[in-house]
A and B are shown apart, each in its own frame.
Chain A
Amino acid sequence: MPRPHLYLLAALLAAFGISHFSDRIDPYHLYVLTGIGINIILAVSLNLVNGYTGQFSLGHAGFMSVGAYLAAAVSLFLGPKILGDSGGTALQQGFMFLAALLAGGLGAALAGLAVGVPSLRLKGDYLALVTLGFGEIIRVIFQNVEFLGGALGLNGIPAYTTIFWVLAVVAVSVFVVTCLVNSTYGRGFLATHDDEIASEAVGLNTTRYKIVAFVIGAFFAGTAGGLYGHFKMTITPTGFDFTKSIEIVVMVILGGMGNTLGVILAAVLLTLLPELLRPIAEYRMIIYSLLLIVLMLVRPQGLFNFKLGKAKS
């Protein structure tokens, strides 16, 4: 992709443009669009770990929850002190939200580092289990911290998330991941995925690549969590359980691992699907799970992966 910075700029401008028309968009559509955006961020960031680097993480929702809680805590506890009783101007609120999102992202990245350093020595199924375990532990901890609402969760989070913020973070995350894997440094992720032993033999520090991928993935998961919290205005520990992690993993796999465009399409499709199936609400999750099985049987390389002749076991 030539001149990726221009793409980013264009995407940010487009986000800004769309946000000016958001009053005229049907609120339901806006709601669905926000959900799609958040899922794209989650799926694209997990794709860096599961797709490009070839490590199987099942704990993405855990990092999302760390970000959601930290960002919400910043807005709820620090916000009133900084912005004062009036709530501040729109611009001040914007900066406040940016700070909250960054805090959430950095917190999640730190959690990613703490989880990644010990567990990335493990491979395949075992890594999946350890990340799953960490995700569940993070959830149980949040359930027990009274300060953050315990099992009831945090309520009354200011509704800062607008379509502009969502689209902007989507643009940034896609930009960062694309540029990273296409850079000279980033080839190491692909090498780690393709053959770890060969990569080590030519002098790549594969553990380091795995940890970098994990931390960056966790950062964006945390930011997505921040957006989610300020969108739903209430977060509970059970909203970030094992099922949520699976949902994100499914997007990555259906999109075709290590294929950013495919993963984005899969995130859009899998967010829209439950909405489209809403009229037959009772059966929609049955259809969702059946589709998942059938797709794996018919197109194991992912729905949107058109690369030929590459089957890796």
Chain B
Amino acid sequence: MSEFLQQLINGLSLGAIYALIALGYTMVYGVLRFINFAHSDVFMVGSFIGYYLGKHIPENTVWGGIVILLGAMLGCALLGMLIERLAYRPLRGAATLNVLITAIGVSLLLEYSGQVFFGATPRTFPAVFPSANFNFGNLVISTNQIIVIAVAALLMVGLQLIVYRTKIGTAMRAVSLNPKAAQLVGVNNDVVISFTFGLGSALAGAGGILYALNYPSIDPLMGVMPGLKAFVAAVLGGIGNIPGAALGGLLLGTVETFVNGSQWSTYKDAIAFAILIIILLFRPAGLLGKFTVEKV
């Protein structure tokens, strides 16, 4: 039983990170209807911003950790908006495939630039937050896990508030529902899309820091696998659906952790894709998504 609870906690803390990355995918898909492949590399850049900031900020302090977290979020938000402005905006209205290829190009650019500027060898991420382990019977919970789950929950609540309680959030939902109609009623689509990229990328930056807290070895290709899995999580929950992305991330993280703890551990990278295929075949709109009938 305690074994089960332990795995569940580990799974939830991994899932919370997947959920944060998945939110970025799902929001961009909501407003632009394409898979932003570069998102996983924005996540990687977030970790590296944390790594370099960590050199100037004392370790093991709460305020230092918060500064690093906010710094990474800000840096990633700017990067995301820059990518959107330079690479995606000129292609507005082009075929989806072209945007997809551009996204792949941006992703490769970030990865290879990372290998040149950060170096290809893995770095050790500093212990930014003070850490301790709490024991509840056989259960071990680290402060890092608590921080991950707490920060992720806080950010998700904040996001929900932005999307449903603010003017720009309403505009985001309008653009996602019908871009042309949104424009007709006076929404500036470019501003909304730029904001969406900034918001999603900031979450990815936070995800990058949280991921590096739990797996403190970072390298320029670290984003690829978590990125793919987070996208699976977004599809699992229903792409374009914000609570769905959170649910999908938590589910995927938990399942993966349980598989990792079983005799099938070497198949853990395949399990996410197996789930993806099953869900797409039987419920293509995802767990929380609405099924839409194609009209001619």
Contacts of A293 in B (CB 8 A): 87, 102, 105-106, 109
CA distance A290 to B113 in the complex (A): 10
Q: Mark A287-300, 1 if CB is under 8 A from B, else 0.
A: 01110110011001
A283 CB to nearest B CB, Å: 7
CA distance A312 to B98 in the complex (A): 11
Known: A118-B281, A130-B280. A242 touches B98 (CB 8 A): no
A129 on interface, CB distance cutoff 8 Å: yes
B132 on interface, CB distance cutoff 8 Å: no
Contact A288 B101 (CB under 8 A): no
Which residue from chain A places its CB closest to the CB of B34 in the assembled complex?
Answer: A125
Contact A122 B91 (CB under 8 A): no
Which residue from chain B places its CB closest to the CB of A195 in the assembled complex?
Answer: B296
CA distance A124 to B29 in the complex (A): 13
For A296, give its contact among B35, B98, B281, B296 (CB under 8 Å).
B98
Contact A300 B35 (CB under 8 A): no
A-B contact count (CB 8 A): 115
Among the 9-residue stretches A21-29, A138-146, A175-183, A220-228, the one with 4 or more Cβ atoms under 8 Å from chain B is A138-146
A72 CB to nearest B CB, Å: 21
Known: A250-B104, A286-B109. A124 touches B96 (CB 8 A): yes
Which residue from chain B places its CB closest to the CB of A151 in the assembled complex?
Answer: B266
B82 CB to nearest A CB, Å: 13
CA distance A130 to B235 in the complex (A): 11
Contact A300 B98 (CB under 8 A): yes
Which residue from chain B places its CB closest to the CB of A288 in the assembled complex?
Answer: B108
A253 on interface, CB distance cutoff 8 Å: yes
For B231, give its contact among A119, A129, A246 (CB under 8 Å).
A129
For B108, give its contact among A129, A130, A141, A292 (CB under 8 Å).
A292
Known: A197-B296, A289-B108. A313 touches B96 (CB 8 A): yes
A45 CB to nearest B CB, Å: 18
Tell me the chain A residues, 93-127 only, with Cβ under 8 Å from chain B: 118-119, 121-122, 124-126
Contacts of B96 in A (CB 8 A): 124-125, 313
Q: Mark A224-260, 1 if CB is under 8 A from B, else 0.
A: 0000000000000000001000100110010001000
Contacts of B108 in A (CB 8 A): 246, 285, 288-289, 292
Could you pull out 23 A-B pairs where Cβ atoms are within 8 angstroms? Answer: A56-B97, A119-B280, A125-B100, A128-B35, A129-B235, A133-B232, A133-B274, A136-B228, A136-B269, A140-B266, A140-B267, A253-B101, A282-B116, A283-B116, A285-B115, A286-B116, A292-B102, A292-B104, A296-B91, A296-B98, A296-B102, A296-B105, A313-B93
Q: Mark B269-285, 1 if CB is under 8 A from A, else 0.
A: 11001101100110010
A134 on interface, CB distance cutoff 8 Å: yes
A152 on interface, CB distance cutoff 8 Å: no
A9 on interface, CB distance cutoff 8 Å: no
Contact B105 A289 (CB under 8 A): yes
Contact A136 B270 (CB under 8 A): yes
B184 on interface, CB distance cutoff 8 Å: no
Contact B101 A297 (CB under 8 A): no
For A246, give its contact among B90, B104, B267, B280 (CB under 8 Å).
B104
Which residue from chain B places its CB closest to the CB of A131 in the assembled complex?
Answer: B277
A159 on interface, CB distance cutoff 8 Å: no
CA distance A241 to B37 in the complex (A): 16
Summarize B's interface: helix, strand, loop or mixed.
helix
Contacts of A125 in B (CB 8 A): 34-35, 96, 100
Contacts of A118 in B (CB 8 A): 277, 281
A15 CB to nearest B CB, Å: 32
Contacts of B273 in A (CB 8 A): 132-134, 136-137
B264 CB to nearest A CB, Å: 9
Contact B94 A313 (CB under 8 A): yes
Known: A137-B273, A253-B97. A144 touches B109 (CB 8 A): no
B118 on interface, CB distance cutoff 8 Å: no
Which residue from chain B places its CB closest to the CB of A300 in the assembled complex?
Answer: B98
CA distance A133 to B105 in the complex (A): 20
Q: Mark B251-267, 1 if CB is under 8 A from A, else 0.
A: 00000000000000011
CA distance A136 to B97 in the complex (A): 21
Contact B101 A250 (CB under 8 A): yes
CA distance A286 to B109 in the complex (A): 5
B185 on interface, CB distance cutoff 8 Å: no
Q: Mark B74-118, 1 if CB is under 8 A from A, else 0.
A: 000000000000010011011111101110111011001101100
Contacts of A121 in B (CB 8 A): 281
Which residue from chain A places its CB closest to the CB of B98 in the assembled complex?
Answer: A300
Contact A122 B284 (CB under 8 A): yes
Among B93, B104, B115, chain A packs the most CB atoms within 10 A around the CB of: B104
Contacts of A290 in B (CB 8 A): 105, 109
A54 CB to nearest B CB, Å: 10
For A297, give its contact among B102, B232, B266 (CB under 8 Å).
B102
CA distance A122 to B283 in the complex (A): 11
Contact A289 B109 (CB under 8 A): yes
Contact B105 A292 (CB under 8 A): yes
